[in-house]
Amino acid sequence: MKVAFIDLQGTLGGDPLGHVGDFEFYPFSIEAIKLLNQNGILAIVLTNQSRISKGELTMKEYNQKIMHIKDDLKEQGAYFDEVYCCPHSREDKCECKKPLKGMAKTAARDFNINLEESYVIGDMGMTDMLLAKEIGAKGVLVLTGVGVGSLNEFRHTWKDIEPAHVADNVLEAVKWIIDDSK
């Protein structure tokens, strides 16, 4: 089964380092999710939300925002197959905070996914592209959010990794994935 693991903030919309409560989709993001849905590619969000463990966001507030995001998608005829969240900070020493494999491994179990046939779409090289390498997936870096900075001043944080593709945004990334996965 084909899957696109998608980062939330900075990739699908919102401020990449901001509060998830302020998240709004970029104008092209819902079309990207629809294309995944229509082409039989799972659309699974993997999001780090360390504000939860830091006490700046409750799990209830996070879940309410995710329900609102899913409702926005449903109104447009699109859906996420699942949303996985790491609520931890680095100090928690969890196994799920990207670039660690925990959320992707859970999704692989839940959906019977071969991780080596998956894609990771994100704007942050040091988390999203490192995760792609960790699970043997193809990484697609988007230039929204902190993507330009990831390619430039923060390239040293993931210097040994080359993305499979660099896209202007998530819609271009999804079109590339659909062509690549044929």
SS (H, E, C) the chain: CCEEEECCECCCECCCCCCHHHCCECCCHHHHHHHHHHCCCEEEEEEECCCCCCCCCCHHHHHHHHHHHHHHHHHCCCCCCEEEEECCCHHHCCCCCCCCCHHHHHHHHHHCCCHHHCEEEECCHHHHHHHHHHHCCEEEEECCCCHHHHHCCCHHHHCCCCCCEEECCHHHHHHHHHHHCC
**Terminal CA-CA length for the chain:** 12
Is 96 annotated to bind a ligand? Reply is yes
Whole-model pTM: value is: 0.97
Output the six-digit token pair for 110: 């839940």
Per-residue pLDDT, 1: 81
Is 7 annotated to bind a ligand? Reply is yes
Is 19 annotated to bind a ligand? Reply is no
Per-residue pLDDT, 182: 84
Is 85 annotated to bind a ligand? Reply is no
Per-residue pLDDT, 157: 95
Q: Whole-angstrom Cα distance, residue 54 to residue 82?
A: 24
- What are the chain's domains? 3-180 (3.40.50.1000)
Per-residue pLDDT, 2: 93
Per-residue pLDDT, 45: 98
Per-residue pLDDT, 173: 98
CA 103 to each of CA 96, 108, 117, 148: distance values in angstroms, whole numbers, following the listed order: 5, 9, 16, 25
117: CB partners within 8 A, 6+ apart:
1, 2, 3, 137
Contact 17, 27 (CB under 8 A): no
Per-residue pLDDT, 94: 95
Is 71 annotated to bind a ligand? Reply is no
Contact 10, 144 (CB under 8 A): yes
Is 165 annotated to bind a ligand? Reply is no
Per-residue pLDDT of the chain in tens (182 residues, 90 and over written 9): 899 999 999 999 999 989 999 999 999 999 999 999 999 999 999 999 999 999 999 999 999 999 999 999 999 999 999 999 999 998 999 999 999 999 999 999 999 999 999 999 999 999 999 999 999 999 999 999 999 999 999 999 999 999 999 999 999 999 999 999 98
